[in-house]
């Protein structure tokens, strides 16, 4: 009897890219769990292959009542509220903490592989971005989104579950299939269209003397690299715990803008604007993944550089009539 892989958040950015990556290996016995909305995330599904799609509330009810009528090999839990500006505490705690607890508990009790999305937002301002579970209580997220993710990491740690399940702290993921995310789209996607439409790129001024305007830095990782990390950990059931998904190299917003201008053959025109008051106090000026742990676990793939990633994104997706990920198997 066929066993299925469940991808929660499978209509979303990273979730649909996981389905794409599995399709690339000829795997399509996949069940997508998501909450269909009025945005255009459904378009992420058009090119990919899967067996079924289930509403997230229906699925968790079946989990709670132990009425799952599929044989499930594993769950890749990418579903969550990923809006870092969301401030409804009750909503975030239910969606990002309680929902994940229920899924993880069921997966462990039913001997299923369980991999979940944590976030680099759990690190706050660092300065240490090491995925060391022994330092978990030292982390201080800057917003409720990061804290809601941090809560599950702590719960899993306290209950000694990180020897049985795997969590991934995504840094700044960008690439195809992020188009429905509105203001949560990557800066690469936003600046591409801004430069195309206006010929200039607006970047935030710095409010810290150690950073020049536009020199705030993030660890940007291309979606194609991110899903390779996911699948490496998911397939290797002996690899558990929390792992960073970043390149280990922080790059500036100026670097991004200059790269896009270069690829499009346009003259550089960067302007620095005021940062909105509502994010000024919770803004991360620097993130850089410590990747020693994932490397020591045996991950040997080379990450695409920022320039290579943006080149692929623009030339093979953003400038194409169909900008969505399409399986090649």
Which helix H or strand E contains 158, and what residues bound it? helix 144-158
Contact 325, 164 (CB under 8 A): no
Relative orientation angle of helices 253-264 and 306-313, to the nearest 10 degrees: 50
Peptide bond into 127 cis (omega under 30): yes
Active site residue ranges: 145, 181
Contact 290, 130 (CB under 8 A): yes
Is residue 301 packed enough to be buried (19+ CB in 10 Å), middle (13-18) or exposed (0-12)? exposed
Of residues 166, 14, 223, the one with CA closest to residue 34 = 14
Rounded to whole angstroms, the Cα distance separating 95 from 118 reads 13
Contact 76, 234 (CB under 8 A): yes
Outline where DSSP puts E strands in the chain.
Answer: 3-8, 30-34, 52-55, 71-77, 113-119, 166-170, 172-174, 201-204, 217-218, 220-222, 241-245, 251-252, 270-273
**Half-sphere exposure at residue 112, Cβ-oriented, CA atoms within 13 angstroms:** 25
**Adjacent-strand bridge partners of 272:** 203
Gyration radius from the chain CA atoms:
19
Rounded to whole angstroms, the Cα distance separating 268 from 49 reads 41
Is residue 111 packed enough to be buried (19+ CB in 10 Å), middle (13-18) or exposed (0-12)? exposed
Rounded to whole angstroms, the Cα distance separating 38 from 56 reads 15
Of residues 327, 320, 172, the one with CA closest to residue 250 = 172
């Amino acid at each position: 009897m066929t066993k299925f892989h469940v991808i929660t958040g499978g209509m979303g950015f990273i979730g649909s890219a996981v389905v794409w990556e599995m399709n690339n290996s000829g795997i399509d016995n996949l069940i997508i769990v998501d909450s269909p909305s009025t945005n255009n995330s459904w378009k992420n599904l058009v090119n990919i292959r899967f067996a079924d799609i289930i509403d997230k509330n229906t699925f968790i009810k079946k989990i709670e009542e132990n009425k799952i009528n599929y044989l499930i090999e594993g769950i890749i839990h990418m579903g969550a509220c990923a809006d870092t500006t969301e401030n409804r505490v009750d909503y975030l705690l239910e969606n990002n903490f309680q929902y994940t607890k229920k899924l993880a508990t069921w997966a462990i009790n039913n001997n299923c592989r369980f991999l979940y999305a944590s976030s680099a937002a759990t690190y706050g301002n660092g300065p240490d971005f090491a995925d060391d579970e022994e330092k978990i209580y030292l982390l201080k997220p800057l917003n409720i989104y990061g804290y809601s993710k941090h809560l599950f990491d702590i719960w899993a740690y306290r209950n000694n579950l990180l020897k049985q399940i795997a969590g991934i702290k995504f840094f700044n993921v960008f690439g195809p299939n992020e188009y429905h995310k509105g203001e949560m789209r990557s800066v690469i996607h936003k600046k591409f269209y801004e430069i195309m439409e206006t010929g200039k790129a607006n970047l935030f001024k710095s409010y810290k003397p150690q950073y020049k305007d536009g020199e705030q830095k993030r660890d940007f990782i291309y979606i194609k690299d991110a899903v390779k990390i996911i699948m490496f950990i998911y397939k290797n059931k002996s690899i558990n715990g929390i792992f960073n998904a970043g390149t280990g190299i922080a790059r500036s917003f100026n670097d991004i803008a200059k790269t896009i201008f270069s690829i499009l053959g346009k003259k550089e025109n960067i302007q620095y604007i005021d940062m909105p008051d509502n994010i000024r106090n919770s803004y991360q000026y620097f993130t850089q993944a410590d990747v020693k742990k994932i490397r020591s676990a045996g991950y040997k793939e080379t990450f695409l550089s920022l320039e290579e990633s943006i080149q692929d994104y623009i030339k093979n997706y953003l400038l194409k009539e169909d900008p969505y990920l399409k399986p090649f198997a």
